[in-house]
Chains A and B, each alone.
Chain A
Amino acid sequence: MTDVSATAQHKVVDSRGSFCPGPITDLFKAYRSSQLGDVIELLATDPAAKADVTAWAQKSGNELVGIADEPGYMRITVKITKKR
């Protein structure tokens, strides 16, 4: 069995300045090239990104690790726990 924690990657996706659907499509692009266990940090200024990513994580079964308010933007962290 592969230990995903040993190979997991941490990706930062900067979508600041991009409006819906920019942040969520940027997240999907990172998701497409991700492996189970990877962590994606999405940086976004569009307030809609919070609801969109939360809804996607809930539906897809991926883990929303947290949403942190940074000066002027949000840092939304997702752990890839479900991917075909």
Chain B
Amino acid sequence: MTDEVQRVVIVGSGDGGTFTANLLASELSDEIRGGLASVQLIGEHLDHPFQPANLDIAFKGAAPEKYVKEETDLIRKEVEFIKDPAVKIDFRARTVATKSGRTIGYDYLVIATGAVANPSKIPGLAEGALNFHAGGESSRRIWDALQAFEGGTIIVAIGGTPHKCPPSPNEAAFMLDEFFRKKGIRDRVTIKFLTPYPRPYPAEKISRVVEPLFKERGIEVTTFFNVDSVDPTQRKIYSMEGETFDYDLLIAIPPHHGADVVVNSGIGDEDGYIPTDRGAMRVVGQVGVYCLGDATNIPVSKSGVVAHLQSVVVAHNIAAEMKRSSEFLEYNGRINCPMEVGHHKAIFVSATYTSPPVDQTPSTVKYYMKRSFALIYWRALDGSLERIFDVFFGQTRFPVAEKEAPVRMATASTAPEQGAKQDA
């Protein structure tokens, strides 16, 4: 450590940003108390939602307010929360500008700005479809529509990839089937699942689980359906490949892109995602700048679990840089996405960069493991459950890479090795 204050600025107060801030506050608590370090978390909203609950809100009628807490109740006291949207990140000046006009300098920057679901990217989608990726309120509109639905065709369509929570479209179809069976009108409802992929789930091993269940439940699958447009008046959805389906209710996963601050700062790729070293989580070509979660361009699932696991790496590596340690962690590509398949059963889509998902059988135990995560999420944000996660994930603590500490303030690349990408 130097005698100067080392300023860590985290942009984005979702799962990854909040957890990273708390981990750093813990790792650097002595330095922060001694005035040698600071951790500032810049966020747009005071409300912090548990996003996986959107499925429960949409298809089980859960109350959105049950899954929201205030950000200030979730962060350690050492963290300064700045509720003021970031509007510009300037790598050269090493500053973040906010909407209110503040300019905040940093020595270390963490970009955790997430991904944005944007129905307006497809003509007619915003007007013609409901979705559960844009938050609790939009999810609630699905539940309201289901209450009034007495029969007809419901389409679940994937409007763009990548999107948050890869299993969620499949879960939506399973949960719709369960909802209408319980309501006693399943025979009056046709459920269609439209996907751009060659199979019901992109990873073949997982598709082998999903496909027979879809068949058994009467969920009709159309593959290679890339949504071109929607006619909300005629209630038709069109694919680029030339297929058309009529619908009575359309639930579509909107195309996603990176956050506005990334796009407007010109630091993302063509979709607004940040080019990021898939191991050390450093932003390519930058020093002391990290990115995690949905904001990266790393081809792994955009999910809270991934953001959580990457936060461990980012917080450790920033602390290591500050303390001139040569021990760095590397994210190993671990994903662990639960998929509810209806009737109190679930599977977990688990993989790493080098281990693709494996065959598995849906189980009630996995269903309750998924449900329990909604209860422990808030405590997980302060890091106190990491020992449990170590047991659960088996390999949360990633291999330590013995490396030279990156040269501070240099222009050298962080040597990204963007080799094998991952099946999700």
Interface residues of A (CB under 8 A from B): 17-22, 24-25, 28, 31-32, 48, 51-52, 55-56, 59-61, 82-84
Contact = CB atoms under 8 A, between A and B. Distances in A.
B198 A28 contact: no
A56 B198 CA distance: 8
Given A19-B422, A24-B198, A82 B241 contact: yes
Q: How large is the interface on B (under 10, 10 to 19, 20 to 34, 35 or more residues)?
A: 20 to 34
Nearest to A48: B204
Given A28-B161, A83-B241, 17 more contacts: A17-B419, A19-B356, A19-B420, A19-B421, A20-B202, A20-B203, A20-B204, A21-B423, A21-B424, A22-B299, A22-B421, A31-B226, A48-B204, A61-B242, A84-B228, A84-B240, A84-B241
B398 interface: no
Interface of B: 161-162, 196-198, 202-204, 223-224, 226, 228-229, 238-242, 299, 356, 418-424
B420 to A, nearest CB: 6
Given A17-B419, A17-B421, A25 B196 contact: yes
B158 to A, nearest CB: 11
Contacts of B240: 31-32, 83-84
A24 B404 CA distance: 38
A32 B241 CA distance: 10
6 contacts: A17-B419, A17-B420, A18-B299, A22-B299, A84-B229, A84-B242
Given A17-B418, A25-B161, A82-B242, A32 B356 contact: no
> Which 3 pairs across A and B sit closest by C-beta, in order of nearness?
A60-B241, A21-B202, A18-B421
A52 B198 contact: yes
Contacts of B203: 20
Contacts of B204: 20, 48
B202 A28 contact: no
Contacts of A19: 356, 420-423
B161 to A, nearest CB: 5
A24 B241 CA distance: 14
Max count, chain B CB within 10 A of own CB: residue among A24, A32, A52, A84: A84
Nearest to B423: A19
